[in-house]
Amino acid sequence: MRPVGIVGVAQTRHAERRDDVNYAELAFEVVSDLLARTGWSHDRIDTVITASSDFWDGRTISDMAVQDAAGAAGKSASKVSMDGTFALVYAAARIGSGAYRTCLVVAHGKASEGNPRLIANAAFDPIFQRPMGIDDHLALGLQARRFLDRRRLTPGVLVEAAARSAAAAATNPNAHRRQAAHVLVADPLHEDEIAPDSDGACAVLLADAETVRGEAVWLDGFAFATDVHGLGDRDLGEPGVLRQVAREAYRSAGVRDPDRELDVVEVHDASSAQTLLWREGLGLADAGGPAWNPSGGAMSAQPGFATGLVRVAEVFERLAQGEGKTGLAHGMTGFVGQAHCAWILRKRARA
């Protein structure tokens, strides 16, 4: 596949509510910011990929609400109803195939427009699990309990992990500011140990090697995989297919020792249990190694399908600013890590 580089990124400030904008305006805001940052215009972008959900947006063909705002009019455009890291796969493939030279990826989430727990319930098995009222938070609680029991750990490790994420988020200007109470939500998880539902958007602009000049951040490797759907059909206390995804991503990018070769890692952690569990799945040591979620990870903001794409943006920003040469960005779709995607980003001269 032809080399694919990142021209620029942008993300909104994430918040509990953005009543000042609708979905289209949220996408327009982040795309306008990206174009201003890069000095590009819509006529230089060949194709557009968006990431959104009919369920979460409360309308069918959800991408139609944001295509004009993203500048997709008159262009080949498509949608991925998964996390933005998976949309990035689609976008990179379009460029890598030689069919297009540039591609804009836009993802958004606006949880405040509906009832997140009720919407989440609709994704579970309709015969056995949905009637029980299970939602994403309850599933996270089941996962956290299994994680603790399998490793014979106490809930104190969840508190510590959440505190580290909060400390990192305190320096992140785009983080979702909240006063999360230590109130039990889904045993053993408390409110401050679960990622907040956020309104926000993220955009990433990709281009081929002929377009990207000089030293840049390149997409050097990736992998993705999907586990079984049923919560009772996989061990929630283990990283599942993330181990497979990590191995393949490292192999594709030529990374042999991730603890030594990676400079920064950003993961989509929907709970403090996942903060710890995904580190295991990526094959990283318990301490040391790359900077871990310096933005606070998803625990700092969880704007729907933009959450993983924000991880890509965060890694890109740090590499572009000279904070290392190689990073990993992780996204997931499906409750308690049903599907995972990992990208290896590397700053180097033109491929």
pLDDT digits (tens, 9 = 90+) for 141-172: 999 999 999 999 999 999 999 999 999 999 99
- The amino acid occupying position 153 is L
pLDDT band at 2 (very low <50, low <70, confident <90, very high): confident
Q: Please give the pLDDT value at position 169.
A: 97
Asked whether residue 94 is assigned to any structural domain, the reply reads: yes
Q: Which domain holds residue 80?
A: 4-114+198-208
Domain assignment present for residue 67? The answer is yes
- E strand or H helix at 184: strand 184-186
CB 173 within 8 A of CB 13: yes
Spatial distance between the Cα atoms of 158 and 319, rounded to a whole number of angstroms? 29
Mean pLDDT of 249-273: 98
Asked which of 25-34, 162-171, 173-182, 340-349 is least confident by mean pLDDT, the reply is 173-182
**In this structure, is residue 53 part of a structural domain?**
yes
Q: Is residue 281 a part of any domain in this protein? A: no
Is residue 224 one of the residues assigned to a domain? no
Position 351 pLDDT exceeds 80: no
**What whole-number distance in Å separates Cα of residue 285 and Cα of residue 290?**
10
Report residue 177's pLDDT band, with 50, 70 and 90 as the boundaries. Answer: confident
- Residue 251 falls inside a structural domain: no
- Is residue 319 in some structural domain? no
> Is 80 exceeded by the pLDDT of residue 305?
yes
- Give strand pairing partners of 344: 221, 328
User: Quick one: pLDDT at residue 1?
Assistant: 67
What φ, ψ does residue 189 adopt, rounded to 5°?
-90, 135
Residue 103 lies in a domain: yes
Q: Whole-prediction pTM value?
A: 0.97
Q: Convert 96-120 into a string of H (helix), E (strand) and C (coil).
A: HCCCCCEEEEEEEEEHHHCCHHHHH
- Rounded CA-CA distance 252/325 in Å is 17
Q: What angle do CA 238, 240, 246 make, to 5 degrees?
A: 115
Q: Using the structure block, give the residue that is written with the tokens 């993330």.
A: 242
Query: What whole-number distance in Å separates Cα of residue 249 and Cα of residue 243?
Result: 10
Residue 303 has pLDDT above 70, yes or no: yes
| pLDDT mean over 91-103 | 96
Output the average pLDDT for the chain: 95
Query: Does the pLDDT value for residue 74 go beyond 80?
Result: yes
Nearest to 290 by CA among 266, 307, 269, 313: 266
Where residue 65 falls among pLDDT bands split at 50, 70, 90? confident
Number of Cα atoms under 13 Å in the Cβ half of residue 151:
19
* Spatial contact of 140 and 270, defined as CB atoms under 8 Å apart: yes
Q: Are 262 and 330 in contact (CB under 8 A)?
A: no
For position 76, what pLDDT does the model report?
Answer: 95
pLDDT exceeds cutoff 70 at 276: yes
271: left (phi over 0), alpha (psi -120 to 50) or beta: beta
pLDDT of res. 181: 87
Across residues 205-213, what is the average pLDDT? 94
**CATH number of domain containing 102:** 3.40.47.10
User: Alpha carbon of 194 to those of 173, 299, 337, 344: distances in Å?
Assistant: 20, 7, 14, 26
333 - beta bridge partners? 339
Domain count, the chain: 1
